[in-house]
């Protein structure tokens, strides 16, 4: 169960830090609440239904394992760019809509060294401003 809490933040990237933090908190609180419920009912359940109480854990886990193996794609050994495309991210974008390839491509035509430095500084600034925590 603890592994689920650690992975909640990776399910969806959020562009707003406050939404990201609240979703992590709600997910972790839900996991803790469910654990508390299972622990509270365990003595009564074991007394009344005995070994069948363990089926409450075995059956949902088995169903989840089958669904994960069936419907989630395997990304083991896959480059990050291909994995991103697999999940619907066609191209990583900077804040102003220019793709990484377009922003870092050598300029066509004659440009001065000052213009190239300005573009490099803008790319670096965009990377710092768009970094996710």
Give the model's pLDDT for residue 38: 93
Divide the 133 residues of the chain into consecutive groups of 10 and give the mean pLDDT of each group: 52 67 86 94 95 94 94 83 76 52 54 65 62 51
Query: Do residues 17 and 133 touch, judged by C-beta distance below 8 A?
Result: yes
Q: What pLDDT sits at residue 2?
A: 46
Write down the pLDDT at residue 1: 45
pLDDT at 83: 79
What pLDDT sits at residue 86?
A: 78
Sorted by where each begins, the domain ranges of the chain are 2-55, 73-133
What is this structure's pTM?
Answer: 0.48
Per-residue pLDDT, 29: 93
Q: What are the two backbone dihedrals, phi and then psi, of residue 59, each rounded to the nearest 5 degrees?
A: -65, -50
């Amino acid at each position: 169960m603890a592994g689920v809490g650690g992975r909640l933040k990776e399910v969806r990237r959020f562009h707003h830090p406050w939404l990201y933090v609240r979703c992590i908190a709600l997910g972790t609180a839900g996991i803790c609440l469910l654990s508390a419920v299972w622990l509270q009912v365990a003595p009564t359940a074991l007394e009344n239904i005995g070994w069948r109480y363990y089926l409450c854990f075995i059956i949902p886990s088995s169903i989840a394992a089958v669904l994960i193996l069936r419907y989630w794609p395997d990304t083991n050994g896959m480059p990050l760019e291909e994995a991103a495309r697999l999940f619907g991210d066609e191209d990583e974008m900077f804040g102003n809509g220019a793709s990484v390839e377009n922003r870092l491509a050598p300029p066509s035509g004659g440009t001065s060294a000052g213009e190239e430095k300005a573009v490099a500084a803008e790319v670096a600034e965009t990377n710092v401003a768009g970094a996710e925590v």
